[in-house]
Structure 1
């Protein structure tokens, strides 16, 4: 049978995560004869190769390629996977992440039905603190026959997660990953997407990004200075591509506005850095590259707040730049005021010549009102007339993908919700107003304040609605998504004979005991369990067991 999908997985020292990664592929709701998973090991010196080899006889879709020499980045392993791929579509998966068993197969089916060159699904990031959505602008609705490089901000999310692309697009155009310590994804997908003519998108989760603290990557090890030096090379490579006008605008806007303005300067790390001169030198090098190609960087900046930063840098007004960035990075703590139904940052006198900085949309919860013989939750909105509200959702605290769309009415600058609708929600939530198709605005509890001599005490900026039936609102349970070699018991637990926890042993594990772990298995609902060296099963919940690092 002809393969429909090739999943390419570069591997280097990912023994802790590989089992979860491989099992996520096996759990895909798709005929396994239609897929192949090409794991390319870049000379791992841990147990990664052994783990993959242990699955080769178990899963026919699994293939392993072992590099002869370590290359130091995912680029060459991914290129080997592309060359070997037999599927109509290719998707890339990092060995520490996992695929969504329902969402990815549906996206593949959608792409195939519409003969899409490229398809975008939703990526979900997992940390100890919360589960959040990434890159909403690439997958905010179900749609087909889109021009991919005309999707707004499409190049603001240019990593592998959540994308499938026709193999022929890559092979016929000889598109390969170039070797960089950082940013090879950006150059690859800018070129690849520019060659596509027909795109699909879907808001379903298709890819899960592992950003738990135990996971380390080249990106995490690369400083902002090193990243920006790579971005200089990538900028020049993009300029050499001779992209269509609309594609070039989106690509250069992303690189200039995001990489050389927002990430380089609009951060507290810039304010704290002892050698700011190196930041200014990198910016000047970017200008020099643009000048060689007769490009004016100012033409590619879309946000007013970044236009100000650009102008300060052009004028070399570094003291003003420092004060301005300090103001922006205050975020919710910055002094603000209302003017013409919009929220403005209160600018100090020496910055008032700048383009005013405004909140695109701001919403404040005004409580429960008795209106027309019924109780209504009232939200005051502050925005200009061009901002369009699409929907209102209740978004679970710490777990963004779990949301419930609710009916609403809008009259002027107010949104009204039925109180009963909110009371029926069975999870703790924020109210999230989605505007201009995909942009979220979480409802606040406090109005802006610009008083110079007094400060409004704010415990939390967002309105959080807690379910009274619960004894306490808490973050979702965090589990080990990989196999720790040894754990220490930090809360009372039991040992079980089965992963579903139906048959408990009589042996109680004491707090402070250490347990050697030999495997990780998953319940029918996908909950991880740890397998001890005695063949028994214990919880993988990090609230009960902690990893022991020797």
Structure 2
């Protein structure tokens, strides 16, 4: 299988000392705004192919940059789109300066071609590469530009947020232990986790560095961007970083199709890139970290996944190892030194020892749901332990929330820590306000117990929203604190919930009105009620509803919704008239708007759409939002019709039913294969307040919209849930 790699590198235009990448590009037809700045500060290169639904949002983020559109060159390079992309862009170059459209004369089959066309025509002092379905924060370009002007570095990095169906989380942060920004940081100082993300999003490159070194995108559909930016990193040697969010990355349901693209061509592209890097760059710790992080990706995609086009079998594992040996024959370092999880070391060892059958058994066991695997505490750490003694146990990094201590001066959170490396600090992070976070040192109390504390003044400064608690290690790896005894909100990876927005921290005596939303006596559901909270003689919280109805602390934290203080002026009758609702299954009798941060295009759910409502949130402006199976929607009581009759769902993946809402192996019942349908009678909740569907025969299945969807919405196992129920895009006024 050995082949001449030098010729292969040349075929795909890798070398930086040759110019054939320029002559290989197709010719273009250019259209531009009437007014053009000859020497812009920043050039934005956008490769587009059939991204029509996202272009308004992307373009609006550019023309409204605080840096000023007069200082920005927008190069929209279209790879022969077959949708209405060019029609959507037309109003922008008619209304704004510095919009340049480059229509390729033939399709290049990937983003590399259009990006290289952009490089040839860029005039700015700095360059950014923007995917056509992503967008910038309003001050994103200005913050990166200011950093590079100040530092003289070749490349700058900012925070990257991920948007999935309107919900945000942090995709890539600065990986710095200072509060705001840093300049002239040597790449030798970058932690391993920095290399988790090295694509075009969230960075800016000095144009002279690109031009003087003939930096360009290699001629292949995968790894072209990561190769480009790692080379820029090597050429720069020092970088600037800011914690501020600069870029929003789109990960909507219809934009995720990676599994079908994971095939041999995908694998060869990545291995070719890694091989070139190892051959042409010094064997530094930076290179080793970069190579190892990409190897982790390949190990996941080609040994741990059954759902890819490449497949998983003894034959595929052997072929994968042969390709690894062919492209990476002489690794001069052991990647196990950097692997972030022990499972990658085990897979690597199996591959090196050619233990393919053992590897396949290990993957089959590891792929089992967590409840089907035995979890044991061994020497102060937790492990999943296989029944087959010939297979290794897999470490589970785990942090358990234990106590919430409140007094007039401080707020303390205690957690038990079961990870080999010591923690550094705890970051309180709000997905609704990603630019604001609070970092507090983690103080050791005992062998496994730690404490993070904030002052009342710090607490008062936090913005409204749900705060996830991330424990960050000295190497900048981070882990969420598990719900455990601090659970107050039934949501994925969420530790503490919104009670006036922050950390579920309340005054001990609470006489405000709460919305009884879920998992309570039906007498209270959908009603606004008062809760009296006091301490008993033993120092325990006591929560009491009207009519002497006592509820547990878990019910208080999970079943009741506290409205922000801006609603305090409303009476009980006004609140009930405007905002009364409860968890359940609903049909839309009028359109509802999906809530999306920083959007310029509305996504609207059609009349007749069926969905579940599982929780209530409030946005930065204290507007009430419903958390549904299709994303967050702006609350409108008149749009919702409760469904009381059984409704049909389809299994999007293989699922089980259980005789209880609290899932475990002991109560497992029927196995439903992907594509099978069944009827559910109502929405229910487990003891840990996870939403479940009650089936017609009295069993329970997951409500998770990644696993089940309503057939009334036109969903099948092969059709994603959301995009079947949207009305056509409309521009926000």
Fold conserved between structures, TM > 0.5: yes
Cα offset, 1:282, TM superposition: 1.8
Could you tell me whether the CA contact under 8 Å between 2:425 and 2:441 is conserved in 1?
Answer: no
Structure 1 Cα separation of the partners of residues 94 and 463 of structure 2:
47
**Which secondary structure state, in structure 2, belongs to the residue aligned with residue 432 of structure 1?**
strand
Cα offset, 1:461, TM superposition: 7.2
**Which secondary structure state, in structure 2, belongs to the residue aligned with residue 205 of structure 1?**
strand
Cα offset, 1:409, TM superposition: 6.5
**1:2-81 residue pairs with structure 2 within 5 A?**
2-81=39-118
Structure 1 match to 2:451: 415
Structure 1 match to 2:3: none
Could you tell me whether the CA contact under 8 Å between 1:14 and 1:95 is conserved in 2?
Answer: yes
The equivalent position to 1:148 in structure 2, one of 162, 172, 187, is 187
Structure 1 Cα separation of the partners of residues 310 and 85 of structure 2:
39
The equivalent position to 1:313 in structure 2, one of 351, 366, 370, is 351
Cα RMSD for the two superposed structures: 4.0
1:391 aligns with 2:426: yes
Say if 1:511 and 1:190 are closer, same or farther in 2 by CA, change over 3 A. same
Is there any run of 5+ residues in structure 1 with no aligned partner, and where?
A: 448-457, 492-508, 513-541
Structure 1 Cα separation of the partners of residues 185 and 278 of structure 2:
25
Structure 1 Cα separation of the partners of residues 382 and 604 of structure 2:
52
Could you tell me whether the CA contact under 8 Å between 1:301 and 1:307 is conserved in 2?
Answer: no
The equivalent position to 1:378 in structure 2, one of 414, 426, 450, is 414
**Which secondary structure state, in structure 2, belongs to the residue aligned with residue 57 of structure 1?**
helix
Structure 1 match to 2:679: none
Cα offset, 1:380, TM superposition: 2.1
Is there any run of 5+ residues in structure 2 with no aligned partner, and where?
A: 1-37, 500-560, 564-579, 584-592, 610-637, 642-721
Cα offset, 1:246, TM superposition: 3.1
Structure 2 Cα separation of the partners of residues 486 and 134 of structure 1:
25
Could you tell me whether the CA contact under 8 Å between 1:387 and 1:435 is conserved in 2?
Answer: yes
Structure 1 match to 2:607: 489
Could you tell me whether the CA contact under 8 Å between 2:111 and 2:221 is conserved in 1?
Answer: no
Cα offset, 1:78, TM superposition: 0.6
Cα offset, 1:183, TM superposition: 1.9
**Which secondary structure state, in structure 2, belongs to the residue aligned with residue 23 of structure 1?**
helix
1:432 aligns with 2:612: no
1:450-497 CA-partner distances (Å, limit 9, x unpaired): xxxxxxxx9977534342414889998248957689973358xxxxxx
Could you tell me whether the CA contact under 8 Å between 1:148 and 1:199 is conserved in 2?
Answer: yes
Structure 2 Cα separation of the partners of residues 63 and 112 of structure 1:
25
Cα offset, 1:330, TM superposition: 5.1
Structure 1 match to 2:363: 325
**Which secondary structure state, in structure 1, belongs to the residue aligned with residue 53 of structure 2?**
coil
Structure 2 Cα separation of the partners of residues 231 and 52 of structure 1:
33
1:212-271 CA-partner distances (Å, limit 9, x unpaired): 123367x56512444213223223322332345334323322332332x23322335479
Structure 1 Cα separation of the partners of residues 433 and 259 of structure 2:
24
Say if 1:364 and 1:174 are closer, same or farther in 2 by CA, change over 3 A. same
Structure 2 Cα separation of the partners of residues 543 and 69 of structure 1:
30
Cα offset, 1:71, TM superposition: 0.7
**Number of matched residues?**
485
Q: Select the structure with the greater relative contact order (CA < 8 A; seq sep ≥ 6).
A: 1
The equivalent position to 2:215 in structure 1, one of 153, 170, 175, is 175
Structure 1 Cα separation of the partners of residues 102 and 408 of structure 2:
69
Structure 2 Cα separation of the partners of residues 372 and 346 of structure 1:
45
The equivalent position to 2:171 in structure 1, one of 96, 117, 134, is 134
Cα offset, 1:341, TM superposition: 3.4
Say if 1:544 and 1:13 are closer, same or farther in 2 by CA, change over 3 A. closer
Structure 1 Cα separation of the partners of residues 247 and 382 of structure 2:
36
Structure 2 Cα separation of the partners of residues 485 and 364 of structure 1:
38
Structure 2 match to 1:286: 324
Say if 1:280 and 1:94 are closer, same or farther in 2 by CA, change over 3 A. same
1:407-444 CA-partner distances (Å, limit 9, x unpaired): 57622322154697879874334333233263332222
1:443 aligns with 2:443: no
1:210 aligns with 2:275: no
Structure 1 Cα separation of the partners of residues 270 and 442 of structure 2:
46
Cα offset, 1:179, TM superposition: 1.9
Could you tell me whether the CA contact under 8 Å between 2:441 and 2:452 is conserved in 1?
Answer: yes
Say if 1:145 and 1:402 are closer, same or farther in 2 by CA, change over 3 A. closer
Say if 1:393 and 1:13 are closer, same or farther in 2 by CA, change over 3 A. same
Say if 1:316 and 1:301 are closer, same or farther in 2 by CA, change over 3 A. farther
Structure 1 match to 2:402: 366
Structure 1 match to 2:438: 405
**Which secondary structure state, in structure 2, belongs to the residue aligned with residue 258 of structure 1?**
helix
**Which secondary structure state, in structure 2, belongs to the residue aligned with residue 17 of structure 1?**
helix
Structure 1 Cα separation of the partners of residues 207 and 214 of structure 2:
11
**Which secondary structure state, in structure 1, belongs to the residue aligned with residue 73 of structure 2?**
strand
1:363-397 CA-partner distances (Å, limit 9, x unpaired): 2122345899988543222334x42322341545x
The equivalent position to 1:112 in structure 2, one of 140, 146, 149, is 149
Say if 1:96 and 1:379 are closer, same or farther in 2 by CA, change over 3 A. same
Could you tell me whether the CA contact under 8 Å between 1:324 and 1:351 is conserved in 2?
Answer: no
Structure 2 match to 1:237: 276
Structure 1 Cα separation of the partners of residues 408 and 61 of structure 2:
51
**1:472-487 residue pairs with structure 2 within 5 A?**
477-478=595-596
Structure 1 Cα separation of the partners of residues 349 and 148 of structure 2:
43
Once the two structures are overlaid, the 10-residue window that deviates more, 91-100 or 9-18, is: 9-18
Cα offset, 1:116, TM superposition: 1.4
Could you tell me whether the CA contact under 8 Å between 2:304 and 2:363 is conserved in 1?
Answer: yes
**Which secondary structure state, in structure 2, belongs to the residue aligned with residue 92 of structure 1?**
strand
Cα offset, 1:323, TM superposition: 3.6
Could you tell me whether the CA contact under 8 Å between 2:47 and 2:111 is conserved in 1?
Answer: yes
Larger Rg over CA atoms:
2
Cα offset, 1:160, TM superposition: 0.6
Structure 1 Cα separation of the partners of residues 602 and 464 of structure 2:
34
